[in-house]
Structure 1
């Protein structure tokens, strides 16, 4: 058996691949639901209703989707240039610490800066913290050939240990009664609510705008062409005049900044302070979302809402029928594998000998 690349991929093949991926995901997940001893129909009904069946469900889903959009965009721009950034989780926490350092530690009584300036400084600090955290691995890859998968992954643990030390030390909130959390942001620096009485905040609008901006950057600018060329074939791109190191550094700064902004948005929009359990793996989930979206910035919006809806709906389903919430992780993982295999079969035909 061998794979032979198709000369062209007809739209019908792509449509059938998508339908097949959805069908495979439903079958695998339904078998697991049956194995858990629950009825398939009502279980799926609770998942869909819990994630999308009411205004409250939609607000919770979109609130969960907001940081996922930003980490998904961070993975998208990095993977487009074949810079495999696995460190978005650490960059998110670095961004959250940067936001609190400006808006919490230096935003107390007697600070003369206007709130608008302080907010801009908070966002800039978060983006800069995430960008600088990825800059080192990118330079090591460009200059020394060091595998960025290893360096970015290990930096996640370094950052989390640093966060733990700071939450019990310099950034600890003295009014938290010993609980390891940072000082809180000023109330004036928190993001506004989009729906009264719900947690959905304006960070969703920021994430959507950044998705559109990243799509335009990749499609219509010389830098976007350099990124796509570098990702398609680095040697050919360099021969055509694309500066590989400069392009890789630009991609690293942009990817890290997006992940850092996810931390700032979580702090300013949802939690108000930094804790060690602030992110339930948003950085790693961003990789899944980027792959589900086919590394398309606008597709990240839909993929993030899908993943967030599954996670929120699984909570409702678990309370109703007793199936563990981990079924949502299985659904997301199965959908990712199905999309990847379906895309492969759409672009290649199987030849048997």
Structure 2
């Protein structure tokens, strides 16, 4: 038996691969649920009911989907160009603290709401960009592996946020709890659903996914980024400036992760804490791979992950099964997706 590379993977196979991967992950996770003494069909039914069976469930699922879309896009954009951005978590937190710091300026509270929201979003995106540009410059100048530098910067960013909310940006009205000063009301994103946490950040995330799809599929920059990822030497021979292309990709990827942090503060929390993110940056890597780096696929992958995380809580209460089954299912989805991607590129021959 040997593996033979496919000349042209069929579009149908490319589309069915993620679905098969998710189905395989659900089957394996179902076996674990059965071992725990529960009915897998009932468990998955309770997950769906918890995520979409009520107004609160739907709003919470979509609220959880919003940052996952943006961090998934951040990873997908970078990986497409072979820029291995593992620092989405740090860029998320730096974007969040940048929004809180920007909101402390007196002029922001005096701004009209549309202008305050726009400038705050830009501040968060720029902060995320800067955190990724450093590792990229180290790679371009000295050949330093960006996997290591971006990963380690996650811890640096979280410690920096902790320093700020315990010191210069600490809220004096928080009764000693480590959190930043709240952002002004003018910078708060409007709600999409009354008496819920669902906010306009969802629309921004969907718009960004559509814009990046167009950018990658219809623009010269998208062609250069794909070329840099597929074959850097051939792209350079064809006249593509790899440093300039990678800098643009880094700005876009880091900006998206920083934007996710900014939106989470402006739409949900209103202030920054060190538990702002339940690993949104790391989850973005899983989502990008589940979507096969497709920006529109990122939306569905983020919705799947959010459904598992939100619905698992109600399932856990009903069946007395740990809610960590959601993390297991998403992790299994990543593993099965890697196998599915391999099988779309290679066929088995005797």
- Give me the TM-score of the superposition, normalised by structure 1: 0.95
| Residues 6 and 349 in structure 1, CA contact (< 8 A), matched pair in contact too | yes
Equivalent residue number for residue 299 of structure 1: 297
Distance 2:14 2:211 in 1: 26
Q: CA deviation at 1:14?
A: 4.2
Give the deviation of 1:12 after TM superposition. 5.0
User: Does structure 2 conserve the Cα–Cα contact (< 8 Å) formed by 1:51 and 1:313?
Assistant: yes
Superposed, 1:235-314 pairs within 5 Å as: 235-314=233-312
* Cα distance in structure 2, aligned partners of 1:119 and 1:49: 34
Report what 2:160 is aligned to: 162
Cross-structure match for 2:39? 39
For 2:131 and 2:245, locate their aligned partners in 1 and report how far apart those are by CA, in whole Å: 17
* Matches of 2:23 and 2:201, distance apart in 1: 33
Contact kept in structure 2, 1:167 and 1:181, CA below 8 Å: yes
Partner of 1:92: 92
CA distance in 1, matches of 2:332, 2:164: 38
Rounded Cα–Cα distance in structure 2 between residues aligned with 1:16 and 1:152: 32
Once residues 141 and 46 of structure 1 are traced to their aligned partners in structure 2, the CA distance between those partners, rounded to angstroms, is 47
8 Å CA contact retained: 2:124, 2:261 = yes
Contact 2:96 2:124 (8 Å CA) reproduced: yes
Cα–Cα, structure 1 residues 114 and 26, in superposed 2: closer, same or farther, change >3 Å?
A: closer
* 2:105 maps to 1:106: yes
Task: Give the Cα–Cα distance (whole angstroms) in 2 for the partners of residues 190 and 112 of structure 1.
Answer: 13
CA-atom RMSD in angstroms: 1.6
Partner of 1:56: 56
Deviations 1:93-126 (A, max 9, x none): 10001111112x11489x6544443332211111
Contact 2:18 2:290 in 1 (8 A): no
| Distance of aligned partners of 1:234 and 1:176 in 2 relative to their CA distance in 1, 3 Å threshold | same
CA distance in 1: counterparts of 2:198 and 2:289, whole angstroms = 26
2:198 alignment partner in structure 1? 200
Task: Give the alignment partner of residue 331 of structure 2, picking from 328, 333, 350.
Answer: 333
How many Å apart are 1:19 and its aligned residue?
A: 5.0
Aligned to 1:221: 219
The corresponding residue for 1:131 is: 129
Q: TM-score, normalised by structure 2?
A: 0.96
Query: Contact 2:74 / 2:257 at 8 angstroms: preserved in 1?
Result: yes
- 2:10 is aligned to 10
1:210 matched residue in structure 2: 208
| Paired residues of 1:130 and 1:256 also in contact (CA < 8 A) | yes
- Asked if 1:82 corresponds to 2:74, the answer is no
| C-alpha deviation, 1:55, in angstroms | 2.8
Aligned residues: 350
What secondary structure does 1:193 align onto? coil
Q: What is the CA distance between 1:235 and its match in structure 2?
A: 0.6
Where 1:349 maps in the other structure, the secondary structure is: strand
How far, CA to CA, are the matches of 2:140 and 2:16 in structure 1?
39
Q: Name 2:346's counterpart in structure 1.
A: 348
